[in-house]
Amino acid sequence: MTISEGPTISEGPAKAAGPANAEAPAADRPEAPEARREARAWCWSVVDSPIGPLLLAATDQGLAQVVFHADEARAAEAVARLTARLGTAPEPAPASLASPAGTPADAPVGSPADSPAGSPVGSGGTPPCLTHLGSAVRQLERYFTGALTEFTVPLDWSLITGFNRRVLRELAEHVPYGTVVGYGDLADRVGDPGAARAVGVAMGSNPLPVVVPCHRVVESGGGIGGFGGGLETKRTLLALEGILPQPLF
């Protein structure tokens, strides 16, 4: 599929191409939040990237959220929301989760490469959320240098439900690095022809952007489409993957 800059579109993907009255099937609409949730251990960190600071949050199940443009105020808001959703305050995270030179992208926190000389080594005392968080940080570092084309960090899908989760899982599993898919095509893939607009809404609800690549979903006519992280961020990610040309300056 050829991608062009196309006409300027509102930033939110909810304005994606598709019937104006299209919506997720009733059985697949997001479930109402539970009145009470079992408290779940989690941790978070903010990392620098070529598209600005990213807040990463992980639970014992895997990476649960990626937040764009995570300055101090936005990070505080995200942490407050996650504390309410997950039922407990986050675990303290290490001062740095960046990988030393030569560390494998999926090496767990607590591995020899992650531990200062003379410090205890081993995963026995490391909360699983920190293991997943460390893996996510290292894999994103390699993605942005072009050294990694497929994320393997486990994902926690609990912040998304119904039709939106179904669409996002299809996207994560079957739209690889360096390719794109149209909103309508993605609707067809999940068995809901004509639900292009609902797919756009699902992209806007994605709690795991970049890792679950909603930037790879574009207009069927060749336009770049919308993006919750901003169109410039979407262009940058598509250029990184070779779908759009790199900017000249």
H helix intervals, the chain: 72-86, 128-144, 162-174, 183-189, 196-204, 231-240
* Active-site residue identified among 78, 159, 186, 214: 214
Beta-bridged to residue 59, according to DSSP, are 42
Of 147, 150, 128, the residue nearest 63 (C-alpha): 128
Please answer whether residues 180 and 3 qualify as being in contact, where contact means their C-beta atoms are separated by less than 8 angstroms.
yes
d(CA 168, CA 106): 23
Q: Are β-strands 181-182 and 217-218 bridged in parallel, bridged antiparallel, or unpaired? A: parallel
Q: Identify the three-state secondary structure at position 87.
A: coil
Q: What is the DSSP letter of 220?
A: T
Q: Is 43 a catalytic residue?
A: no
C-alpha to C-alpha distances, 135 to 57, 104, 111, 128, nearest whole angstrom: 12, 9, 11, 11
Active site (catalytic) residues: 214
